[in-house]
Amino acid sequence: MSCLKMGLLGMLALAGTGDRALSQGGYLEVDPYESSVASMTRGLRVRSDGRNHNILLALRGLGDPDLRPFFQSMFSSDEPTLQIDSVLALAELGETSIDPFLLQQMEEKQRSLALMAAISLELYDESLVKSMGDFPDLTEVEQTMMIIMGVRLGLEPDTGRLEELLDSDDRITRMVAAVLNSDLTGRTEELEQEIERYGKLSVSERILVSGALIDIASWHPMPSALAVFRAVANDPEMSRSLRLAAIDSALGCECPDGIRIWIEATRLADSSGDRSRLGVAAIERGIITEDWSGISDERQLNQRIAVAGQGLANETQAIEAVVELMKIRHPLSVQAALGVADNLRDGETAERIWLMIMRSALTDVRLQPLMGRLYRNLSERGSEELERVIWEISQAEDQQLLKEILLTAILESGSPRSVEFGSLFKDETDRTIRSLVLLVKAKSEEPLDEGELEELTLITTGGGRIDPTTRSIAGWLWLKRNGQNDKALTEIMSDA
């Protein structure tokens, strides 16, 4: 079917989409090929609100090697954000590392941002680190990241380059290099000098230096930075958020000294709210300690956070602790409950907690945004109970948003049972739900009958009541199912 006549509903759905349409006898005739191309190319039109990036993330999430030319074409764009998305998307398709050849062609700022994202997504390998060593124009920030990547990969540290960074004119670079040098070699002289200099800096300068350490510590533990983190935690001139972040960074090294900083902070906390956040931070880090006395106070939330934290060390009480936490309708109670499950050594207990929270979403709307995370956790674990919970949700009345969120997670997943799970919603009358169910099947290798192909065409041309992000997926799936993907990519690349 090359086109589809649509009535008033179709006209409303297409309003403002920018797809080319021809008026014939009071109906709109829309070309699904052009609609598919348009839905994908919206991802190439950079928007200040980031909507185009969401489309690119959705297409990246498909993990389809046939999309490689699309992502390759983005690298030639004048838009820096598209270049970064291109490098990351191609790395994800290769499942190894960002391409050092592409990285070297990027401008300094974009290259640094791409590297930071690659580290967070673990899209780097030994060949990248070695190739970067030959880059003629590496900034000090990039050299620092290169050293950290090498350390995380177990490579021999580049001590010569580290020595050069210790002599930098930039105080942030010197501090980070001194911390790394102390961690790697045990040599503390330079670090002691930098800590002494740090104490003489203005507030704004201390914020910059400590902020850089905290940022790095979010993806690379830095035990030698504990003295700075303690100083920030006890600095009344620092903002509350920065002080809490410093304590969290101290916990990140998973060492006794870091836990001591946290215990000190819990006992000196100015408010019950700070104790709540400190408790949740430790749970999310999976910290094992018996001393939660600084968290527990007159606030019921904190009492239960403390019990939940103790449950990480004594897993027999974990389920009961989470049940009590979930009775408190507070975002931090949910955050703590998930933190407990994520850090339990007993996978079966973690699964029971995830299932419990998933079922609770039927009566607690604040839990609905967690559906994707819970589904992924349970799917990856191969939970035998997951199908039952999905069926229960599919049978619930007046839960359209919950069903949409769950089906979107199923669509985005690579689970071999996706079609099976999606089919549990096949009797839904809601247009959006039906569209998502079909897209789950269209993404698989299963054949579509004539009616399903017509329905996919309707969704692609705007009649499926799905958002632009999901519609880009529909567009690509329509192109693939109709053998038009190569033609479309050629057209998109020629216009790039």
State the pLDDT at residue 5.
Answer: 31
Average confidence (pLDDT) over 32-46: 94
State the pLDDT at residue 493.
Answer: 87
How confident is the model over 450-492, as pLDDT tens digits?
Answer: 999 999 999 999 888 999 999 999 999 999 999 999 999 999 9
Which distant-in-sequence residues (6+ apart) come within 8 Å of 285 by Cβ? 248, 251, 252, 254, 343
Q: How far is CA 277 from CA 231, 241, 266, 325, 475, in A?
A: 19, 10, 10, 14, 43
Residue 269: how many other CB atoms lie within 10 Å: 22
How confident is the model over 242-294, as pLDDT tens digits?
Answer: 999 999 999 999 899 999 999 999 999 989 999 999 999 999 999 999 899 99
Per DSSP bridges, beta strands 21-24 and 4-6 are unpaired
Using CB atoms within 10 Å of the CB of residue 89, give its burial: 0 to 12 exposed, 13 to 18 middle, 19+ buried: buried
19 pLDDT above the threshold of 50: no
Token pair listed for 355: 């299932």
Which distant-in-sequence residues (6+ apart) come within 8 Å of 399 by Cβ? 362, 393
Which distant-in-sequence residues (6+ apart) come within 8 Å of 204 by Cβ? none
Phi, psi of 409, deg, nearest 5:
-65, -40
16 pLDDT above the threshold of 60: no
Beta-carbon-side half-sphere exposure of residue 438 (alpha carbons within 13 Å): 31
Binned at pLDDT 50, 70 and 90, residue 7 comes out as very low
Q: Do 173 and 144 form a contact (C-beta atoms < 8 A)? A: yes
Residue given tokens 């401008």 in the structure block = 107
User: Rounded CA gap, 410 and 408, in Å?
Assistant: 5
Q: Do 305 and 295 form a contact (C-beta atoms < 8 A)? A: yes
User: Rounded CA gap, 91 and 113, in Å?
Assistant: 15
Residue 387: how many other CB atoms lie within 10 Å: 14
